[in-house]
Structure 1
């Protein structure tokens, strides 16, 4: 390119990220609340840097590959448009990648659910020197991060540098990221920072009122989702669980196993949550093998997504608080959907029954993993535990309870 395009980074992304933008050490780690600009700032930063460094290539990672298209890939395309450089970039969805046309540099996208594809990348131009791990909180096993970290290796020419960037919401203070990066003593190779919505000058009054209501109505969530503080997790509702790769078809070959599907409705502020599990009543195990978890889903979109995944004909228990939505889904073709049975103490009774089981969670079920690691017993104003769970991180948890109502027999009788 002969033309030089000059932009004002401060006008484009605002304030609060100068140190993040300019840091060249090995680890650049940013935890932040909702609307803190962290993902959009990171996307603009990488597009800008790649166009300045003709030998650099970027690898973008999330725990599951299927989540990349609607998150990082979309954010990077947004950044390209925001910078007005669309004519220089080529976007492909199969395979998912972005190419800087003047040099052939690439942005690669990979999920940890296919580790061989992560470790086998060979770049055609320059060096694979940068990595962006979005929603890094989803990576619960530090050893998985170490494998990723080791993939950014080797010498790079003068003027270039190797760097791993992690961005995430800080739901749980016990996560390995806190100890490794935020609790580390002074280290020139680590920048660990916290951002929140207060540094986002582009929010309007309606956006700000969302956080004001959160501060008033849900102070615990406000500390994390509003201010970006670490979530303090004490008194988990479900403690007997593990993350494990398994083949659902092999599990279903066992005797005394049944599938279980549950649906919790959401829309604007809360996600719709769809739980897919297998119950082994003899082994006292619940296997969580798939999920749907998304905001803004109309009933038609819910039906289409359930149908696409192949679960339309399954017996599904759904939140009885929305009978109209259940009727809509039945009319669309989900003929085995039924209302969940709710009654006095149905939440606690369901929890107590599930607590007798070990819950095995497939790594692809990242939203279920996030909820179960944050679903705790509520506390009163004196900090004393109450005999009810918090009204938060409960969408997949509720969907699981509904699903398990459909398992017949004394073991799963929640009436």
Structure 2
């Protein structure tokens, strides 16, 4: 069957490339990435007998998005007489026996009945939970055919799982997203990365791009996402003065402080939360906070944790800890640790946060990946009106709590030089 179809040049190689297992497409609004993924699948399933699975987080969103997009493409290519669209349950059947089935991750039980899927497309993958992504990898299997997974998304926060998995998170570095923005297409091992913006869609009206440009003034965060197609931090950053230095540089800087104030703080956790223990050094004169050591684990009983942080017992170093766990603090005391409860009071979260924000610089050692992962891009939570909530954050930052406790009774000067007693 001879098929002619005009496509955007930036996607031409992508459409015919089936040499990789993963295809990660990120782009701004109107870049045509979803259109070309759908076209890629139609061409492949016409060529080979395969079963493809198309997934979104919510099943009810598929009919007006992915399913409608496939239908539009097949009509444009005059294939609608050859390809059958079934609406209940949603399915597309090809003349050679290929088929596309559609599922939502909000109904995961229905994934268990799927067999011999050799291609999966996760549309708006940033909306799918990480556990769902892992489940889908397990569903991608066929005895003879090559396996492929295509993930497409508008860029979201760097705290999203897809950024951490495909780009960088803590010590797991795969690709600098800035390199992708420069090169537009990058191949790393078995993954092809593809970046696109509205400029790559030659079929867009000029007025649409002008509309995207207007976002630069009114909504910078959305402009970065919609116009530039770039990951970043969504919302107001809690600690804009936070920077990462090499461990050696941090320790050298601490050595230069005439009278460093050294502290240790601990937040307790078990199942979902973490035991977070940090060591800090304060340059009181320069108003610089250094974070140079961390312990970060969960699902650890107190006796096992006590063994792993035995150095604090041996050195007699004091740990200021979460006062909400008096039994835990008492246990560590009985085991010979110098541990005391940090003060907690109504509004203490907000007050502790304001205290940390008064430092001119917060410098963290590269040896503290969990501190960096939680605090570098930490943003405030917002209410239904979009206003920030000063004592709530985008994640539950256990290392931030540990820092609060460590500085429990530290007297910090504000930027005007006044001493504030917390």
Structure 1 length-normalised TM: 0.52
Partner-residue secondary structure (3-state), 2:81: helix
Q: Is the 8 A contact 1:235 1:377 kept in 2?
A: no
Q: Matched residues in 1 for 2:206 and 2:14: separation?
A: 27
Between 37-46 and 15-24, report the one with greater CA deviation: 15-24
Q: In the alignment, which of 114, 138, 141 is matched to residue 153 of structure 1?
A: 141
Distance 2:189 2:102 in 1: 28
The residue number in structure 1 matching 2:14 is 20
* Alpha-carbon distance, 1:388 to partner: 4.4
C-alpha displacement at 1:162, in angstroms? 0.8
> Structure 1 residues 33, 376: closer, same or farther in 2, change over 3 A?
farther
Number of aligned residues: 232
Larger Rg: 2
Alignment of 1:303-342 (within 5 A): none
> Are the aligned partners of 2:123 and 2:152 in contact in 1 as well (CA < 8 Å)?
yes
Q: Deviations over 1:319-363 (max 9, x none)?
A: xxxxxxxxxxxxxxxxxxxxxxxxxxxxxxxxx9xxxxxxxxxxx
Aligned to 1:399: none
Instruction: Identify the range of structure 1 (113-122 vs 184-193) with the bigger mean alpha-carbon deviation.
Output: 184-193
Structure 2 gap ranges (5+): 169-173, 176-186, 239-349, 351-377, 390-422
- Counterpart pick for 2:112 among 105, 116, 119: 119
Of 36, 39, 44, the match for 1:41? 36
3-state secondary structure, aligned to 2:78? coil
Q: Moved runs in structure 1, 4+ residues, more than 6 A?
A: none
Q: Per the alignment, in what secondary structure is the counterpart of residue 117 of structure 2? A: strand
CA RMSD of aligned residues (A): 2.7
Instruction: Select 2:150's aligned residue among 158, 165, 181.
Output: 165
Distance in 2, Cα, partners of 1:137 & 1:374: 18
Determine whether 1:99 maps to 2:96: no
Distance 1:216 1:233, change over 3 A: closer
Query: What are the residue-to-residue correspondences of 1:264-413 with 2, within 5 Å?
Result: 388-389=387-388
CA distance in 2: counterparts of 1:182 and 1:82, whole angstroms = 36
Match of 1:71 among 65, 68, 78: 65
Equivalent residue number for residue 204 of structure 1: 205
> 2:3: which partner in 1?
6
Query: Is the 8 Å Cα contact of residues 236 and 377 (structure 1) preserved in structure 2?
Result: no
Q: What CA distance in whole angstroms lies between the structure 2 residues aligned with 1:52 and 1:145?
A: 27
For residues 34-60 of structure 1, the C-alpha deviation after alignment (integer angstroms, 9 at most, x for no partner) is 10101111111111111011x211101
Alignment CA distance shift 1:235-1:212 (3 Å): closer
| Matching residue of 2:54 | 60
Cα 1:172/1:19, change in 2 over 3 Å: farther
Could you say if the C-alpha distance between residues 51 and 374 of structure 1 is closer, same or farther in structure 2, counting changes exceeding 3 Å?
farther
Q: What is residue 102 of structure 2 aligned with on the other side? A: 109
Trace 1:238-257 onto structure 2 (pairs within 5 A): none
Contact 2:50 2:98 (8 Å CA) reproduced: yes
